[in-house]
Amino acid sequence: MFDGFEDYRTATEDDYRRTLTGGMVVFDANVLLNLYRFNSTTRADLIKVMQSLGDSLWIPHQVMREFWRNRESVIDQLGETPRESLAKLDKARQDAEEAVRAWSNRIYLPEGERDGLLTRLNGAFQAVRHTISEQAAANAHPHDTNADTIVATLSSILGGRTGAALPPEDHDAAVVEAERRIVAKEPPGYLDKDKADADERAGDFLVWKQVLLEAERRSCDVLLVTSDVKDDWWRRAKGQLRGPRWELMAEFRRSTGHRLFMITPSELIRRADALTDVHVNPESAENIERVENIDAEPVPHDVARELVLEIDRRMAQNKATTLTSSAEHRAISEWLDDPDIGGVLDDYFHPTAAREWIEKTVLRPRLSALYGVGPHAELVSLRFQSADEIIDTVCGTDWRVEPGTLGIRPYNCIATNGVDRRYVCWGFDNYLNELLTAATQQQTEGLGRPLIVFLHLGTLPDREYLTAELDKVGVDAAYLKRELRPNPDYVG
């Protein structure tokens, strides 16, 4: 029954156990980096499992590259988290003090009683503050690799178990193939299409390519352990992970003749006692799951996409491109009461979190999408001139945006006609300082004079003066009326 349909067979514990002992087990960069985020018990449990794998453990070169490229930023982020929490706590304490003072004034509470309440209040806040500070100190990790115990441990485990980089010509070919897959929406990695650098966009595919080559060389099954739960890796049913995408399993079988399995680190630890000889703390799986959920998208990609399209349709019906704060609050309240939006989000959030999701995931990216930039660029029915249209208008029809150079804050790119290259940024004149700073920082060898494109709504005074002043510092200026147009890339 499974002849020719082997990939439809559900993975069993025997499959996992056989691969853990006699196949190849690959840990993704996000798992290695999360070692910094786990508590000491959970970290030790995962490391014990990794050590138990022996020569079945293998790490692609691209995984180690991403580990080193992101290690310091992860450490910095962990240092920022307690500082942000303490700042919010101090703000909450001040708000609570003001509330107590206001209440005590209204009821004419004696000063002594009021001060007693404030003392108890401050004591509680100080106790929480002390605990956060203590935990932050205990969980701090050094930048110095010589003093980093995680680096030391990984060095001992991964010695001789890390793959080599692809040869330069194979690497370049893989980056080209990754770009093709992004356009065709073929897994893995096509959901990284909004990363600015082509090499970063190709990261997932480079990992995949290296895994395929090593599995083909070893002729064995592979278990990929990853916290990346995006839909360009995983197959889902009703929001639950069901295993690798069918396309990935088929490609793996064509290349190696073997089977591909995938598992999250939380699930690996949850089943460690049954699959390995390692005993772990039962709470470690929950701790890993909490860490995984911090950055995980709570709404499946296809569901989120439909919600973005539906909200765009609502805004287009009301001829609204953006919303004021008060209008946004009213609109979100209406959407949350609507079964087509709020009813869907009820499966994933409580109402407050659903509101935050709409603000963060739908409305904030919409601002960039209106300029043809970001993950929602094809999900808005109307948009202003795109980067390509701006370059075509102000630089000439033989100029285009150089692939991989489009950025924001301010909107910018490298424009090229195939021979010459120049930096171009654009925005309204009230962002002059930001635009000028960005432009002057790009006065480098190999680029022509930077160009600032000032967008306007019909009138822009003092053009001649502004052009002359920018010319003095080696920056060109152009002017373009912002227009709302049908989006040619719209998929709704």
> Has residue 108 been placed in a domain?
yes
* pLDDT at 298 (0 to 100): 74
Same domain, 161 and 217: yes
> Has residue 492 been placed in a domain?
no
Same domain, 51 and 177: yes
Mean pLDDT of all residues belonging to the chain: 89
Could you give the angle at the alpha carbon of 267 between the alpha carbons of 265 and 268, nearest 5°? 60
> Has residue 182 been placed in a domain?
yes
Same domain, 238 and 347: no
Decide if 466 contacts 478 (C-beta within 8 A): no
Same domain, 361 and 283: no
Decide if 368 contacts 359 (C-beta within 8 A): no
Which uninterrupted H or E stretch holds 428? Answer: strand 421-428
Same domain, 272 and 371: no
Compute the distance between CA of residue 370 and CA of residue 65 in angstroms, rounded to an integer. Answer: 34
Q: Which amino acid does the sequence have at 457?
A: L
Which uninterrupted H or E stretch holds 401? Answer: strand 400-401
* pLDDT at 238 (0 to 100): 64
Decide if 71 contacts 141 (C-beta within 8 A): no
Residue 430 CB coordination number (10 Å): 9
Same domain, 311 and 253: no
> Has residue 146 been placed in a domain?
no
- Which of 357, 377, 397 is a domain's end point? 377
- Which of 293, 323, 341 is a domain's end point? 293
Residue 397 CB coordination number (10 Å): 9
Same domain, 309 and 433: no
> b vs e for 209-234, b when ≥16 Cβ sit within 10 Å of the residue's Cβ?
bbbbbbbeebebbbbbbbbbbbbbbb
Range(s) of the domain holding residue 129: 74-141
> b vs e for 455-464, b when ≥16 Cβ sit within 10 Å of the residue's Cβ?
beeeeeeeee
* pLDDT at 296 (0 to 100): 63
Please tell me the total count of domains within the chain. Answer: 4
Same domain, 80 and 53: no
Mean pLDDT (10-residue bins), the chain, 492 residues: 74 89 95 93 94 95 95 87 84 89 89 90 91 83 92 94 95 94 90 82 95 96 93 80 91 94 93 88 88 73 88 86 84 92 86 85 87 84 91 95 85 93 92 92 87 87 87 94 88 81
> Has residue 222 been placed in a domain?
yes
What is the three-class DSSP state of 59? strand
Compute the distance between CA of residue 150 and CA of residue 142 in angstroms, rounded to an integer. Answer: 10
* pLDDT at 239 (0 to 100): 64
Cis amide leading into 60 (omega within 30) = no
Residue 304 Cα distances to 100, 245, 358, 361, 376, angstroms: 42, 19, 10, 9, 11
> Has residue 451 been placed in a domain?
yes
Same domain, 109 and 199: no
* pLDDT at 349 (0 to 100): 79
HSE, side-chain direction, 13 A CA sphere, residue 217: 9
- Which of 260, 293, 326 is a domain's end point? 293
Decide if 269 contacts 262 (C-beta within 8 A): no
Of 384, 381, 379, 385, the closest CA to residue 318 belongs to: 381
pTM over 0.85: no
Same domain, 472 and 405: yes
